[in-house]
Amino acid sequence: MRHLILSLILLSSPAWGNELEAYFEHETTKLEERCLAEIRSAEDWLARRDVYREQLQEMLGLAPWPERTDLQATVTKTVRHEEFTVENLHFQSLPGLYVTGNLYLPRGATEGPHPAVLYVCGHARVVEDGVNFGNKARYQHHPAWFARHGYVCLTIDTIQLGEIEGIHHGTYREGMWWWNNRGYTPAGAEAWNGIRALDYLQSRSEVDGTRIGITGRSGGGIYSWWVGALDDRVKVAVPVAGITSLRNHVVDGCVEGHCDCMYHINTFRWDFPQIAALMAPRPLLISNSDKDTIFPLDGVVAVHGKVKRIYELLEAEDQLGLQITEGAHRDSQELRVHAFRWFNRFLKGEDALIRRPAEALLPARDLKVFDELPEDERTSVIHETFVPRAPAPVVPTDAVEWEEMRSAWMRHLESKVFAGWPEAGETSPLPALVRLEPIEGENEERVRLLTLVDEATWARDPERAHQLRRRFMLLGQTLDGMRVWDLLRQLMQREEPLTIHAEGRAAGIALYASLFDSEKRLRGLELTGLPTSHRNGPIFLNVSRFLDLPQALAMAGEQCPVRLKGLSREDRPQLRFAEETLNMLGLEGRLMIH
């Protein structure tokens, strides 16, 4: 019997990095070509639109929809300007998930109802003397303009940059790769906050609930896309500098300029035009500047081109616009003027010239909602609970119940966790992510070593290596998930069954490979230091929504004997499910814990 070990080695060949870039190009091209390709008629779009929306809902961690609990909306202060009134307020989109905002009401608002705009803020904020006024204070010139021109406008803080500060930078900066396991992205929380903001607007007597628009720039641009795509109450949208092509993000490296809130968990392997098309046939102005390095012009134009085809199929070409101004990634007056005209045209039926600029007219301190932050807030830690983990499993009573459990988990693994693997028979240019090596001092026919290629060696710059790792999620994969596939690829090339020895994160790679070993190339697993929860790795897309390592261990024990080493006494109870399940199946000796 041959044996293999999975551990860690460092490779520093620059050619390996070039191979990885070729792989990213290959995968991106594949997703580009299939994006909306199945839509050839208006009937096709109408048949698929709800399916796409459900997929996006899931990729934002919103399936099933969270409960629409009482908003508990509270106005904490009213500020009066000669041309409008501002109500500083907060609501809870979920219990404890506080959203701070400012509601701008035009003079004479009680004479409404008025058209309304939800303004979602981008990545900027105002802090004075250590006091955080949120990003709503930085973007106040937008809602002020709307209120001065007869609109009700609600502008809301984001989680990362609001008065209550949460986290957008889980994989970008904080090393929270488990967000991928959980299927969590702050984009989902921001989308939900925006949807509940629409609920609040519709609750106000001053608002005409049939005439609501949405806009924002940069981060606010992408939040405009999420909310507009998911909620038909948005009748008009002007996302500014919030979207570009998958090619720009993955191949050109624009991912390095964006935090996690800009991305859905790409389970269904979309290119970004598929998100944008979900606004069709409602009035949509795609707005950008021509020298924006994080939303490059070629990608914006490519998105518009694919969306334009959908609008044409729906005979709604006059509802779609593309606005490109000169300049870099900034909040320019030129961008704003076109947005204002678009809203006037489609929410008010007006097409007059824009004669007054958008100006900040209030001190930032006047826009602050909280004097003291609420003790029951969950905003700062919402990433821990927004997407729930799979419930702890109960040991099945018999083999029939077990088969149902195992089959369900395997379906989820195939369709939601490892769906980004190449299709059967497909040749992939993915470079080797694991290596099979002999163990020193052992007979090669008996024992071998399985090694991981360390991502830190992909580039001389560790930060670049970190960002390369983020690209996998944009392709509907993870690095560890593709390591499982690469291990299976290499096992299929071997003639005799093998036993794998693996350690740490690598042990989890080997464990999951055994679940897909349909050719029975593995005779056994010897795993040292296997994590007992995916919180500690390995990182697989969405996996924690469906199962954790003890469930995988039980399934692996059906496939081949598993020997565990290096576990602490505290780890042992967490593996009880696997032990008891295998015992129930009459496989008492298949899981050995030392």
533 pLDDT more than 80: yes
Pairwise CA distance, residues 27 & 18, whole Å: 14
Question: If you average pLDDT over residues 66-74, what whole number do you get?
Answer: 98
pLDDT confidence bin for 13, thresholds 50/70/90: very low
Q: pLDDT tens, 579-593? A: 999 999 999 999 999
pLDDT at position 468: 87
Mean of pLDDT values over 452-464: 68
Distances (CA, A) of 248 to 237, 252, 289, 431, 465: 23, 5, 15, 22, 18
pLDDT at 435 over 90: no
Percent of the chain exceeding pLDDT 70 equals: 94
- Tell me how far apart the terminal alpha carbons of the chain are, to the nearest angstrom: 22
- Across all residues in the chain, what is the average pLDDT? 93
The closest alpha carbon to 143, from 182, 115, 104, belongs to: 104
pLDDT per residue over 231-264, tens digit each?
999 999 999 999 999 999 999 999 999 999 999 9
The whole-number average pLDDT for the span 535-547 is 96
Query: Positive or negative CA dihedral for 396, 401, 405, 407?
Result: positive
- Binning pLDDT at 50, 70 and 90, where does residue 465 land? confident
Give the start-to-end residue ranges of the domains of the chain.
2-30+387-593, 62-384
**Two structure tokens written together for 73:** 């909306």
- What's phi and psi for 76, nearest 5 deg? -100, -20
| Predicted confidence (pLDDT) per residue in 118-133, tens digit | 999 999 999 999 999 9
Q: Quick one: which H or E segment has residue 211?
A: strand 207-217
- What's the average model confidence in pLDDT over 203-223? 97
List, as own/partner pairs, every contact residues 493-496 make where C-beta atoms lie below 8 angstroms and the sequence separation is at least 24, other chains included. 494/521, 496/2
Question: One-letter amino acid identity for 40?
Answer: R
The pTM of this model reads 0.95
Confidence class of residue 395 from pLDDT cuts 50, 70 and 90?
very high
> Residue 482 and residue 505: Cα distance in Å, rounded?
14
pLDDT at 563 over 90: yes
pLDDT of residue 1: 40
The side-by-side arrangement of strands in the sheet containing 562-565 is 434-438, 448-453, 2-9, 498-503, 522-528, 562-565, 591-593
Q: Which fold has domain 62-384?
A: Rossmann fold (3.40.50)
Q: What is the pLDDT of residues 466-505, one digit of tens each?
A: 888 999 999 999 999 999 999 999 988 888 888 888 898 8
